[in-house]
Amino acid sequence: MLSQRTREIGIRMALGATSTRVLRLVRRQCARLAAFGVVLGVVVGFVVMKLFSNAIAMRNVSVLDAGAFAAAVTLVIAASALAAFFPARRATRIDPSQALRADG
């Protein structure tokens, strides 16, 4: 995503955007994608586990475990934050003149 937006980030930097603003922009976009994935994953996971619980009778085990869902959400959020860190750092180091020349 970041490599496709190099020109836009270069323009933003040329117009005076600080590294902090660019970092915030990249992190916000990654967080939005992660949130969409988490919501979709929790909904699909809940539906599938509910179907499994109806199909498979287990007396002492609940397939709808809130702790497991919370752990999965935490893991996805942590992984997305880690995955966004290096591209966000790289985005703050874009030279506006090189970015504008690269795609032109």
Range of the domain at 83: 3-103
SS3 103: helix
Say whether pTM exceeds 0.75. no
Chain segment 2-43, per-residue pLDDT in tens:
667 777 888 888 888 888 888 888 888 888 988 999 999 989
Mean pLDDT along residues 98-104? 64
Tracing tokens 């959020």 back to the chain, one arrives at 77
Q: What is the pLDDT, as a whole number, of residue 57? A: 75
- Tell me the H-state helices in the chain: 6-14, 19-55, 66-91, 96-103
How many structural domains comprise the chain?
1
Mean pLDDT along residues 77-95? 83
Neighbours of 26 (CB within 10 A): 22
Closest CA to 1 of 28, 21, 20: 28
